[in-house]
């Protein structure tokens, strides 16, 4: 199958293209379309991963349903035949990879929950013994389980650069104390539920990020949720602190780019077929393990 790298919905107003998703205005709602684009080191690569957008969307839909009793979400419908008539001619681009969602005023903070030490959290711990100003015990390793999950927010980058971890005090300054406290509560509650489910599937949810917005009805969960793009899922049976863990995400892509010694400047290089295929396989396996379902791409 061919990767869908860019959508074209004719006269439907395009609001923007992110690293993965194309966003359209649909009256008082929004249309999120997950393409097959893949990014690494803050650059969108020339090669897509066929079916990736469908996998991400279907995983998000699974979690939106599982977590709905903790916090409402932005989903109106993901069924193309329930979309406005103007979208029906583009069903081939939308089927399985799009969501009609509520508009919301988005909070300008990435809400990250960590149950394990990895990535930027591990780097910060090595230099300061803390993550986002939260002191952690001495002697932890890359991949160590934390004594309890922690809320480690980050600023949202508007220019494609890295998000930056910030303290809870800084979050309170950005959001106000009441909203900061509520987003921390929701983030940790969602992480606990999701980590428990992942564990039942033989997976570790090491960390994840959520995005929240506000509508007239209150705070809602938005964007994607608990996908291999926004989360680290590890194989529980092989977890061993002390280094990078085998993961269900784009690690094959990162490893390849490191191997070819790309300078991480645009333009990003294309991927060999075998790297794209192995990455697709990992995303599909994550979907199957988490949902218990089979996805036809």
Fold of 105-238: D-amino Acid Aminotransferase; Chain A, domain 1 (3.30.470)
pLDDT at residue 161 tops 60? no
The per-residue pLDDT for 163 is 76
- Domain 1-103 class in CATH: alpha beta
pLDDT at residue 157 tops 70? no
The per-residue pLDDT for 45 is 94
Instruction: Provide Rg for the chain, Cα atoms.
Output: 19
pLDDT digits (tens, 9 = 90+) for 51-101: 999 999 999 999 999 999 999 999 999 999 999 999 999 999 999 999 999
The per-residue pLDDT for 191 is 98
The per-residue pLDDT for 229 is 93
Q: Establish how many alpha carbons lie within 13 A of residue 236's alpha carbon, considering only the half-sphere containing its beta carbon.
A: 13
In the chain, CATH 3.30.200.20 covers: 1-103
The per-residue pLDDT for 41 is 87
Q: With 0-12 CB in 10 A as exposed, 13-18 as middle and 19+ as buried, what is 14? A: middle
The per-residue pLDDT for 136 is 96
The per-residue pLDDT for 139 is 97
pLDDT digits (tens, 9 = 90+) for 212-264: 999 999 999 999 999 999 999 999 999 999 998 989 988 889 889 999 999 99
**Considering the chain, what percentage of its residues have pLDDT values greater than 70?**
98
Q: What are phi and psi of 100, to 5 degrees?
A: -85, 125
In the chain, CATH 3.30.470.20 covers: 105-238
The per-residue pLDDT for 159 is 53
Q: Are 254 and 232 in contact (CB under 8 A)?
A: no
Q: Are 232 and 205 in contact (CB under 8 A)?
A: yes
pLDDT digits (tens, 9 = 90+) for 71-82: 999 999 999 999
Q: Which of 277, 282, 276 is nearest to 227 (CA)?
A: 282
Q: List the beta bridge partners of residue 247.
A: 234
pTM: 0.94
């Amino acid at each position: 199958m061919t990767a869908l790298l860019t959508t074209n919905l004719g006269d439907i107003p395009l609001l923007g293209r992110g690293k993965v998703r194309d966003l359209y205005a649909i009256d008082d709602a929004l249309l999120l379309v997950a393409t097959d684009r893949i990014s690494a080191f803050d650059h969108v690569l020339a090669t897509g991963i066929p079916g990736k957008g469908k996998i991400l969307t279907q995983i998000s839909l699974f979690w939106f349903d599982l977590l709905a009793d903790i916090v409402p979400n932005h989903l109106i419908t993901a069924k193309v035949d329930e979309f406005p008539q103007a979208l029906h001619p583009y069903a081939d681009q939308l089927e399985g990879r799009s969501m009609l969602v509520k508009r919301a005023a988005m909070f300008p903070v990435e809400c990250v929950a960590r149950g394990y030490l990895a990535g930027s959290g591990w780097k910060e711990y090595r230099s300061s013994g803390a993550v986002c100003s939260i002191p952690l015990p001495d002697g932890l390793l890359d991949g160590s389980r934390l004594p309890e999950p922690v809320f480690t927010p980050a600023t949202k980058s508007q220019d494609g650069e890295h998000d930056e971890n910030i303290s809870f005090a800084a979050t309170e300054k950005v959001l106000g104390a009441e909203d900061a406290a509520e987003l921390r509560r929701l983030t940790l509650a969602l992480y606990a539920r999701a980590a428990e489910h992942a564990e039942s599937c033989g997976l570790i949810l090491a960390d994840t990020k959520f995005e929240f917005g506000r509508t007239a009805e209150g705070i809602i969960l938005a964007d994607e949720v608990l996908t291999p793009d926004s989360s680290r899922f590890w194989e529980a049976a092989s977890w061993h602190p002390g280094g990078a863990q085998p993961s269900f995400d784009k690690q094959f892509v990162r490893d390849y780019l490191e191997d070819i010694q790309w300078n991480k400047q645009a333009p990003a290089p294309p991927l060999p077929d075998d790297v794209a295929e192995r990455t697709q396989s990992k995303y599909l396996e994550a979907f199957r393990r988490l949902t218990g379902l089979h996805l036809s791409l």
